[in-house]
Each structure stands twice: as structure tokens, then as C-alpha cells.
């Protein structure tokens, strides 16, 4: 009788131990800004003491984030072939709702068909946030959502029963909750004559090597037009300026490419500048004297018929540079005098009611 009682007690204790929920850690980690418009991170799960392993039956990762990381449209997706779970448990659908990153759960596959979780961790999936425009300087600030509806849920087979084992204490976040290395607070432009002056400010800087300034027009793609050295590490506001003197178009786009000391870079949102001159004018050619070519810049406050011709000192026409109707804007034209002999020449512009003549010197 005593032997039977002891056996029953041992079976009862074993049953309690067997029915305890397994312990796990659910981890946010490996956050990386892949490009100026793509940020990726991992979600992984592992068994922790005293549990050595358990059979995962389902998982619903729900996170909050900062949608202000971009002015563009954001999408949330799963990096293909990134999950280490059995196919029936791998996440399929990811979406954004307000400030939430949602991953829809799969139907439990049935006891014996789940994924065995132990140590080391298995990756639930790698997730991707994509923007239609470059990210700004703000942190994505991804956090577990452990309450409200919906919230993060983890389930496993306890014995043979599908059981909710969610324990938010074990939801770990190792993503760096910090802004990008350089916090840009403003990027503006102003016109000064035929120049465009770009100004920008930073609040803080970490390993900032400097800024590449890029320009784009309707006829060209993004081109590097200059570089401004950064301040390395700084906790105080810094101001930068760059002077551009473009000609030929009336609209320009500018953007900054911030480069870290280690070579990583971030693009910031672009700005557009429209240039419309107030008066007709033509500048002195540059260089002058020249050999064999030089540039002539002029400006039109409105659409005009333009004639720009070259004459020798006898008043004889030697070249026609422009004879067409042109839109308003700051313009320039190159003059190749390789077929002319050394000497002084005149260039004369007629645009609307505006007429002006200037001298140039060719030295070979």
C-alpha cells in the first residue's frame, strides 16, 4: 500500500513539472540601416533556464516604432528566406498600422509539427522597413508591444496542448535606441545674385567626416558638386554653408550625403530652388584672356529671343553662338576659338530690348 502511494505521488509531481510553461527569451536585435531608405532588424527566440528546449506552436511579434523617421511612404516586410522556423510557422504577412509593426500569426501546425527551440536562438525572421524617400535623422525606436490589442504573443505545446506561454518580462530589446550619427536640424537655401547659398545646421555629431553636396536638374541626375568637412564629434550646434553658382537651368534640387569617419553614409531629404533673374545682364567671359575656349554667362528675366555673336575689331562677324528663343533663367555658353587667331574680339548680345557688347582677348 505504501509503495502504491509513493508511486502516485511521484507521478503527480512529475505531472506538475511536465505541465509547467517553458521559459524563453524573445529578442529584438541586429538593427542595421542597409541604405538611405531601408532599415532591417532580427527577431529571434531561444529557450532559457531551466527550460532546455520546447516545441514552439505559434508567435505573433507586434512592435511599436517611430513613423516620423521619414517623410515618405513606409512599408514593413519580411526578408525572404530569413526565418529559421519550420515552414508552417514562418511569418508570412507583415504590415504597418499607425505606429505599429504587425506580423500576423500562423495557424498552429499541430503537436509534433512545431519548431523545437533551444539554445542557441533561432531567428523568427529578419524584418525590413522601407521608405519611398531617405530616412531623416530620427531613431526608428522599435519597441515590443506587450499590452493592448494586438500585442506580442508566444505559444508552445505543453505536453500535447497548444498553450499561451507569453511572458513579456522575457521580451528583450537590444536595438540601439539612438538617432543617426548626425542630427540635422535644418537645410535651407537663399539666392544672392546668380548664386545659390545652401545653409544647414546640426544639433549633435558623432564621427562626422563631412557632407557631400549633390545637385540635380531636369536634364541631369544627381551630381557631386562639392564637399564640406564635418566636425567629428560634437554635442553643440554647428552651422555649415556652401555657395553654388549654377547656370543653364531655372530649377535645381540639392541634397546632402553625410559621411561617417568609417565610411557609412546617410542621405537627407532634398530641397528645390527656383532661380528667376530680375534684370537682363551679361557677364565678362571667363577665363579672359583665354586659349582656346571661354565661357559667357548671361541672364534673362523672361522668355526672350536671344542673339549672341562674336565680331573681330573690324566689325566682321566671326561666330554665332546663340540664335533662338530661350526661357527665363541664368544661362551660359562656351566659345571655342581654336580656329581664330590671337587678338581682341567683341561679343554682343541682343535679348528683347536689351543689348550689350563686351571685349575678350584670345592669346595663343
**CATH number of residue 293's parent domain:** 2.60.40.1930
At 82, list the grid cell.
530569413
Q: Pairing relation of β-strands 293-300 and 304-311? A: unpaired
DSSP state of 340: S
Q: Both 75 and 207 in a single domain?
A: no
136 within some domain: yes
Q: What gap in Å lies between CA 223 and CA 79, rounded to an integer?
A: 32
Q: Which of 141, 173, 205 is the last residue of a domain?
A: 173
Residue-wise pLDDT tens for the chain (364 aa)? 444 444 433 433 334 334 589 999 999 998 888 888 899 999 999 999 888 999 999 999 999 999 988 888 999 999 999 999 999 999 999 999 999 999 998 999 999 999 999 988 999 999 999 999 888 777 788 999 999 999 999 999 999 999 999 999 889 898 865 445 687 889 999 988 778 999 999 988 888 999 999 999 988 899 999 999 999 888 789 999 999 988 777 789 999 999 988 787 888 889 999 888 889 999 999 999 999 999 999 989 999 999 999 999 999 999 999 999 998 888 889 999 999 999 999 999 999 999 999 999 999 8
Q: What is the CATH number of the domain that holds 226?
A: 2.60.40.10
Q: Both 197 and 264 in a single domain?
A: yes
Q: How many residues would you count in the chain?
A: 364
Q: Both 187 and 260 in a single domain?
A: yes
At 207, list the grid cell.
564621427
Q: What gap in Å lies between CA 267 and CA 264, rounded to an integer?
A: 11
Q: Both 89 and 216 in a single domain?
A: no
3 within some domain: no
- The whole-number pLDDT of residue 249 equals 77
Q: Both 168 and 188 in a single domain?
A: no
Q: What is the DSSP string of 24-56?
A: EEEEEEEEEEEETTEEEEEEEEEE-TT---EEE
Domains of the chain: total: 3
103 within some domain: yes
- The whole-number pLDDT of residue 14 equals 39
Q: Both 36 and 140 in a single domain?
A: yes
At 47, list the grid cell.
529557450
| Cβ neighbours, 10 Å, residue 303 | 13
Burial call 96-133: b when 16+ CB within 10 Å, e when fewer: beeebbbbebbebbeeeebbebeeebbbbbbbbbbbeb
Please name which of 24, 52, 49 lies closest in space to residue 124, comparing C-alpha atoms: 24
At 349, list the grid cell.
548680345
Q: What gap in Å lies between CA 152 and CA 59, rounded to an integer?
A: 8
2 within some domain: no
Q: Both 318 and 190 in a single domain?
A: no
At 67, list the grid cell.
513613423
- The whole-number pLDDT of residue 213 equals 96
Q: Which residues contact 266 (CB under 8 A, 6 or more apart)?
A: 33, 36, 134, 135, 137, 180, 181, 182, 257, 258
146 within some domain: yes
Q: Both 234 and 209 in a single domain?
A: yes
14 within some domain: no
Q: Which residues contact 255 (CB under 8 A, 6 or more apart)?
A: 134, 214, 216, 222, 267, 268, 269, 270, 271
6 within some domain: no
Q: 326: domain range?
A: 281-362
Q: Both 139 and 34 in a single domain?
A: yes
Q: What gap in Å lies between CA 27 and CA 96, rounded to an integer?
A: 20
Q: Both 26 and 86 in a single domain?
A: yes
Q: pTM of the predicted model, to two decimals?
A: 0.49
Q: Both 268 and 202 in a single domain?
A: yes
Q: Both 285 and 270 in a single domain?
A: no
Amino acid at each position: 500500500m505504501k509503495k502504491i502511494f509513493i508511486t502516485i505521488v511521484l507521478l503527480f509531481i512529475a505531472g506538475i513539472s511536465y505541465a509547467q510553461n517553458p521559459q524563453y527569451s524573445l529578442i529584438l536585435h541586429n538593427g542595421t540601416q542597409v541604405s538611405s531608405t531601408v532599415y532591417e532588424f532580427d527577431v529571434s527566440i531561444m529557450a532559457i533556464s531551466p527550460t532546455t528546449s520546447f516545441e514552439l506552436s505559434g508567435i505573433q511579434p507586434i512592435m511599436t516604432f517611430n513613423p516620423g523617421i521619414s517623410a515618405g511612404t513606409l512599408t514593413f516586410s519580411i526578408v525572404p528566406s530569413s526565418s529559421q522556423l519550420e515552414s508552417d510557422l514562418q511569418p508570412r504577412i507583415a504590415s504597418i498600422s499607425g505606429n505599429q509593426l504587425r506580423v500576423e500569426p500562423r495557424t498552429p501546425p499541430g503537436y509534433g509539427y512545431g519548431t523545437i527551440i533551444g539554445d542557441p536562438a533561432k531567428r523568427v525572421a529578419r524584418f525590413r522597413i522601407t521608405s519611398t524617400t531617405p530616412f531623416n535623422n530620427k531613431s526608428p525606436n522599435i519597441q515590443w508591444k506587450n499590452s493592448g490589442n494586438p500585442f506580442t504573443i508566444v505559444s508552445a505545446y505543453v505536453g500535447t496542448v497548444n498553450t499561451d506561454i507569453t511572458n513579456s518580462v522575457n521580451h528583450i530589446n537590444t536595438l540601439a535606441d539612438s538617432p543617426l550619427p548626425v542630427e540635422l536640424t535644418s537645410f535651407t537655401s537663399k539666392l544672392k545674385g546668380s548664386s545659390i547659398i545652401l545653409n544647414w545646421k546640426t544639433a549633435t555629431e558623432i564621427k562626422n567626416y563631412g557632407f557631400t553636396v549633390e545637385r540635380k536638374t531636369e536634364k541631369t541626375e544627381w551630381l557631386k558638386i562639392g564637399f564640406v568637412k564635418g566636425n567629428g564629434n560634437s554635442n553643440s550646434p554647428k552651422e555649415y554653408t556652401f555657395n553654388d553658382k549654377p547656370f543653364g537651368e531655372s530649377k535645381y534640387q540639392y541634397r546632402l550625403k553625410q559621411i561617417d569617419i568609417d565610411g557609412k553614409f546617410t542621405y537627407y531629404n532634398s530641397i528645390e530652388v527656383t532661380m528667376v533673374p530680375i534684370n537682363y545682364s551679361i557677364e565678362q567671359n571667363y577665363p579672359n584672356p583665354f586659349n582656346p575656349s571661354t565661357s559667357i554667362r548671361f541672364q534673362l528675366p523672361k522668355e526672350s529671343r536671344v542673339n549672341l555673336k562674336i565680331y573681330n575689331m573690324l566689325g566682321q562677324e566671326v561666330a554665332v553662338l546663340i540664335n533662338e528663343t530661350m526661357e527665363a533663367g541664368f544661362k551660359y555658353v562656351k566659345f571655342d576659338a581654336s580656329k581664330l587667331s590671337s587678338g581682341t574680339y567683341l561679343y554682343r548680345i541682343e535679348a528683347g530690348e536689351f543689348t550689350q557688347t563686351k571685349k575678350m582677348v584670345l592669346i595663343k
